[in-house]
Structure 1
Amino acid sequence: MAAALALAMVLPGQVRAQELRSYRVIGNAIPVPLTGVRGDPGQGRAIVVDRQKGLCLLCHTGPFPEQRFQGNLAPDLRGVGSRLSEGELRLRLVDSRQLDPATIMPPYYAIDDLVRVGRNWQGKPVLSAEQIEDVVAFLTTLTEAP
């Protein structure tokens, strides 16, 4: 729980609330990229393994041999690109609470209904739309099962 609360923080320079892009949820997915284009898988991998930006490895483990002390609270990211579609991945990153209100997965592209958010980070998402698309592009490449 503390990990999820810590993830509500945003680094200075992130997008402001008025810059959030609209999206449409269809079923259990956001089928259209937030930016209108696919992201960069290399940039997405950098975000996933960055312990200051994405914080993914706080809860997840995956094929990142250079990263020690990966999490075990959430599913292994190995094979996630085979298990979930691009749109399903996008919704889980944008705001997984739309699928499970009790999830510990933090909303990376949401600013509403958050708790204990520092004043400097209020009204800002954890990741920009471009960063979300980069992470989605990377996660779709993880097709080998654990």
Structure 2
Amino acid sequence: MAASAATAETIAPDSVAIEDMQLTQSLTGAAGDPVAGREAFADRKRGNCLACHVNADLDSELFHGEVGPVLDGAGDRWSEAELRAIVVNSKDVFGEQTIMPGFYTLNVGVNVDEEHAGKTILSAQEVEDVVAYLTTLKED
């Protein structure tokens, strides 16, 4: 089974090493699924990326935010390794001043709800899926 093989190779959040604003190694050893990534990206209870980012591919979704950069063409502007690092922990890439959360880190600040303490926002495979989706966003 591919899922159990990917789980066996999953890098733990506290073992992720972002270097030079990149994370070249897959978190799971399995390819991301861009269709699943698009779903996680738009899901208000998982990625919730639209809360901060405009994305023309998801024009049918309501309430795109304008806090973060427009993600049209993200696959042209950033490499897969850069996108993975940004999604895993944007603070390691952009600095502590960014308001973007780290989606695969346990370093999430203070006063974390007890239910969410010690957990990541996205699973390792969901990160790989979102990265695979973002790489499909090309300029026209």
- Percent identical across equivalent pairs? 41
Superposition deviation, residue 90 in structure 1: 0.6
Distance 2:25 2:14 in 1: 12
Superposition deviation, residue 113 in structure 1: 4.9
Matched, 1:120 2:115: yes
TM-score (ref. length: structure 1)? 0.82
Q: CA RMSD in A?
A: 1.7
TM-score (ref. length: structure 2)? 0.85
Name stretches of at least 5 consecutive residues in structure 2 with no aligned partner.
1-11
Distance 1:43 1:113 in 2: 25
Matched, 1:66 2:68: no
Instruction: Name the aligned partner's letter for residue 142 of structure 1.
Output: L
Superposition deviation, residue 24 in structure 1: 2.8
Name stretches of at least 5 consecutive residues in structure 1 with no aligned partner.
1-18
Distance 1:25 1:89 in 2: 11
Matched, 1:29 2:22: yes
- Judge conservation of contact 2:14–2:105 (CA < 8 Å) in 1: no
Which residue pairs with 1:46 in the alignment?
39
Instruction: Name the aligned partner's letter for residue 117 of structure 1.
Output: V
Which residue pairs with 1:95 in the alignment?
89
Distance 1:51 1:83, change over 3 A: same
Superposition deviation, residue 68 in structure 1: 1.4
- Judge conservation of contact 1:109–1:129 (CA < 8 Å) in 2: yes
- Judge conservation of contact 1:21–1:129 (CA < 8 Å) in 2: no
Distance 1:114 1:21 in 2: 14
Superposition deviation, residue 117 in structure 1: 1.0
- Judge conservation of contact 2:34–2:129 (CA < 8 Å) in 1: yes
Distance 1:90 1:78 in 2: 17
Which residue pairs with 2:8 in the alignment?
none
- Judge conservation of contact 1:48–1:56 (CA < 8 Å) in 2: yes
Instruction: Name the aligned partner's letter for residue 75 of structure 2.
Output: G
The partner residue of 1:139 within 113, 119, 134 is 134
Instruction: Name the aligned partner's letter for residue 60 of structure 1.
Output: H
- Judge conservation of contact 1:22–1:34 (CA < 8 Å) in 2: no
* Larger relative contact order, structure 1 or 2 (CA cutoff 8 Å, min sep 6): 1
Distance 1:51 1:112 in 2: 22
Query: What SS does the corresponding residue of 2:136 show, helix, strand or coil?
Result: coil
More helix by share: 2
